[in-house]
Every structure is written in C-alpha cells, then in structure tokens.
A = this chain, B = another copy of it.
Amino acid sequence: MALIVQKFGGTSVGTVERIQQVAEKVKKFREKGDDIVVVVSAMSGETNRLIDLAKQISDGEPVPRELDVMVSTGEQVTIALLAMALIKRGVPAVSYTGNQVRILTDSAYNKARILQIDDQKIRADLKAGRVVVVAGFQGVDEHGSITTLGRGGSDTTGVALAAALKADECQIYTDVDGVYTTDPRVVPKAQRLEKITFEEMLEMASLGSKVLQIRSVEFAGKYNVPLRVLHSFQEGPGTLITLDEEESMEQPIISGIAFNRDEAKLTIRGVPDIPGIAFKILGPISAANIEVDMIVQNVSHDNTTDFTFTVHRNDYNNALGVLQKTADELGAREVVGDTNIAKVSIVGVGMRSHAGVASRMFEALAKETINIQMISTSEIKVSVVIEEKYLELAVRALHTAFELDAPSRQGE
C-alpha cells in the first residue's frame, strides 16, 4: 500500500464534468488500496476572474494581503466540489484549505514560501480511510492571514505535502502524457521519456518545456520526492522524475532537446577591455530589473572587446536603451541587437561522462549549414543561439543526431 499525492491543475478541474472524471480516477487508485491525498487548483479561469475583480476595485494595484484572501477562494471551491464528487461515489473524503491543514508560510503575500506543514489532520484522515483533498497554491502565515504561493504554486503544494508526508510518489496530472525528448509539435518523432533526473528536468523546464513549474522540481529534488508527470484523462505511465544517479550508466548521453524563442540578443562592440567591464555593462541592466540569460565575451583585440548577452524579448527595447547609455559613457564603438534569434539546448546528465558531445552538436548543425551565434555550456547542457528561422531544422537535426527519434512505425 502506497501513499500517493496527486495534483490536478486548473484545466483538469475546469468544469463539473472534469471534476467528476478526476473523482473517478482517484476512486480507482483508492480501490487499489493506496492512500491518496489530492491537491487541486482553482477551476481554470477562476483565478483570473478574481484578480480582475480585485484590479477593478483598486485601480490596478490590489492590496497584497486582501488579494490573497480573494484569490484563495478559487481552490476552496474546487476542493469542496471534488470532495462532494468523491463522497457521491461512495469514497469517504474531506476537504481542507491551506489554513485548515496548516500549511505555514512566510508573510510574502502573493508569492509566499512554505515553511512547515502540519501533517496531523491528514494522517488521521488517511488512517480513517478518507481521501484528503487539499487546496493548492495557498497557506497561512503565523498571524493567521491567508497567503498564496504565486502562479503555479499548486505543484509546489503537491510536492511539499508529499515531502511532509514522506509519500511514495507525487503525481502531477496535466494536459500532456509525460516529458518528451523535445516538443512533438516540432519533431513528430519525439519520444516520451520513462525517466528523467531532477537536474535534467530543471534544464528542460527553464529552457521552455513548460510541463512543470521550476520551483516544484527544485523542491522535489531538494527533498528527493519522486515526481511523476501524467495525463489527466488518458491512461499511461507518464514520466518519472527522480534522483536516480546510480543508473546513469544506462542513461542515454542526451535526454532531450529544449528550445526557446523568447529571447533577444544585444551586443556592445569595441568596449575597453579592462577589469570590471562586465559589471559596468551588466550592472545597469540588472538595476533596470532585466534578467540576463546567456553572456559571451569575445577575445580581446586592440585592447577592446565585444560583449554579447541575451534577455527576454519583452525586455529588449528597455535593455537597448540602457545599453546605449552605457556605450556612450564607456566610449564603445556601437550597440547592435537582434530579436530574430532562438536558443537550442541539448540536455543530459550522460554528457558528464562523455567527451565530444558539444562537437557532435556543432557538427550536426554545420551539416545543415546553420550558423552558431553564441555558445554556452554547463555540466549537463550545451546551448547555442541561432537565427530563429532555422529553429525547427536545428531541433530536428539534433534529435536525429543524438538518436532520440522514435523507431518508425509501419506505414510511416
């Protein structure tokens, strides 16, 4: 008998019919003899409706404490509906808000962090044979004020509960049937991964595979909670995310290809190559609250250097203005920028023990005569920036080069 935490997001509980389907699924697990804790989000659209109301009344800037009082009602409605649907099916169930469980958080309204979870009530209910339905995304601070964990926080609630209860698995139900080697819309031969490590998943997630919230994966990794991504309404084993380093010998070199079209590139040319120049350039960017992703500084010649970095496309114009000002102050030659770029990354813990992974990547891209504009590497990934129009071509070429393509089926 296992203890399983199951998390269903807003789309999975978006209508009365879907909540009924979720209840059916939970019932089946219960009948297998597992102890089940279910974490649910607000019905899709509900959180935005509430935020809109709050903005209307506050001329756009709702008081954070009161916003959490409002927004938390979204999940509160869902837990009650799911508990009702379970009880109607003869499955004993009880619902709890974050406050009722006592999911203690700090007081950072709208983006609170979980400090501690009281598992007493839940354990007592499980022991009594009840399915426990918990509101995701919310908690309570030490003063008894309601808090929310910020967007996507229901995943975090699920993982934190699984950690507190020492659950055997935390299952995240979503609208995909697992984590894929890359986006199947780009590469039809993309394959579902049986397993992936937390580290790899973090790289995949931060690079644009939006299956799981990064924060919940970090959390799961930190507390070593086995995480499984599954489809809400289809059968299948999904993808298991674990530490599982000991099996890395059998790991393929590369687990997946991630990509991202949301970045833009800025270059400042002919800046004096003196110590502290990187800070002089990036300090003002950071001060303007712009996050920088990749950074490349070319080798110096004539005592000047070129400095290139990428930012989110939404920040491009802002960053360009800041950088131009810096260029004037430093007497740099020029500032150029480009929004027609894309980032492609190969990710895999296997590359740690394999040399030549990067060159195999560059070779595959060269074969397609795709020019590489920037390169950045880490322990378990290699990222390149290329011209955006070559993105799909590059992803497909790499998917094939690293032997990730699914075997052709008959008729294909």
Interface of A with B (CB < 8 Å)? 16, 19-20, 50, 53-54, 56-59, 62-63, 65-67, 69-70, 72-73, 76-77, 79-81, 83-85, 87-88, 94-95, 97, 99-100, 121, 144-146
Set of chain B residues within 8 Å of A19, measured between Cβ atoms: 57
Which of B62, B73, B80 is in CB contact (< 8 Å) with A67? B80
B69 touches A79 (CB 8 A): yes
Evaluate whether A66 and B84 lie within 8 angstroms (CB atoms) in the complex, with A73-B73, A77-B73, A144-B100 already known. Answer: yes
**In the complex, A67→B84 CA distance in Å?**
8
**In the complex, A53→B73 CA distance in Å?**
14
Which of B57, B62, B87 is in CB contact (< 8 Å) with A16? B57
Smallest CB separation, A56 vs chain B (Å): 5
Write the chain B residue with the least CB distance to A99: B99
Set of chain B residues within 8 Å of A70, measured between Cβ atoms: 76-77, 80-81
Evaluate whether A77 and B50 lie within 8 angstroms (CB atoms) in the complex, with A63-B83, A63-B84, A84-B63 already known. Answer: yes
Evaluate whether A76 and B81 lie within 8 angstroms (CB atoms) in the complex, with A16-B56, A53-B16 already known. Answer: no
Evaluate whether A80 and B100 lie within 8 angstroms (CB atoms) in the complex, with A16-B57, A57-B16, A85-B58 already known. Answer: no
Q: Which 5 A-B pairs have the closest CB atoms?
A: A73-B73, A70-B80, A69-B80, A66-B80, A66-B83
Smallest CB separation, A295 vs chain B (Å): 41
B73 touches A87 (CB 8 A): no
Set of chain B residues within 8 Å of A57, measured between Cβ atoms: 16, 19-20, 81, 84-85, 88
**In the complex, A79→B70 CA distance in Å?**
8
Set of chain B residues within 8 Å of A121, measured between Cβ atoms: 144
